[in-house]
A and B are shown apart, each in its own frame.
Chain A
Amino acid sequence: RKEVEQDPGPFNVPEGATVAFNCTYSNSASQSFFWYRQDCRKEPKLLMSVYSSGNEDGRFTAQLNRASQYISLLIRDSKLSDSATYLCVVVPWNQGGKLIFGQGTELSVKP
């Protein structure tokens, strides 16, 4: 089983749609969680951290359920510029800051 698993995608949605990405992780000793965004042939960029209480940044909402080892990202009112691959990232607490990446979910927002 992979350490971090995401929806396989791709997701093709119209502008303005709401889209949700899911992610599960296997290591219960994980301490930090992030969503990154990666554009084609570019490096990943941090989108947002994920906190236990849930957190929101504009149109983006992240949720964490430690009991279920589940992370989600919700994008509301999607824009063409949201088209990218979204990477779920988990940081185990005792591995020197190593980031464990999910395989990514591709989003394509169409006009």
Chain B
Amino acid sequence: GAVVSQHPSRVICKSGTSVKIECRSLDFQATTMFWYRQFPKQSLMLMATSNEGSKATYEQGVEKDKFLINHASLTLSTLTVTSAHPEDSSFYICSAALVGQVGYEQYFGPGTRLTVT
């Protein structure tokens, strides 16, 4: 099956710093990648949809200036949490959709656990 990687898997940072998370599709090209956030005991919430070569589409309530998304190639999307605060501590997961099959066969990365102290 298709493989999606995320880096780093875990990060601890101080309040006020920025953190970049990478999401890569390893063996397929993904025109669309999705970024989710999951707080403890809650379900995944979509933050934004990232399309290669264009601006990301953010869900209501998600600050685009705080969560910067770049999808520069068909295999890489990055999420940068700027000026992180403790309330940004969460499990961030990306998924990638196979070209031509958006809405079917989304493959998830292993997630990045962010802790802001």
Chain A residues proximal to chain B, CB less than 8 Å: 31-32, 41-45, 87, 91, 96-104
A43 pairs with B43, CB closer than 8 A: no
Q: Give CA–CA (A44, B111) in the complex, Å.
A: 9
Q: Give CA–CA (A96, B32) in the complex, Å.
A: 9
Distance to closest chain B CB from A85 (angstroms): 9
Interface residue SS majority, chain B: strand
Chain B residues proximal to chain A, CB less than 8 Å: 32, 34, 42-46, 49, 57, 91, 93, 95, 97, 102-104, 106, 108-111, 113
Q: Which residue of B lies closest to A93 (CB)?
A: B103
Q: Give CA–CA (A43, B23) in the complex, Å.
A: 13
B34 pairs with A99, CB closer than 8 A: yes
Distance to closest chain B CB from A66 (angstroms): 17
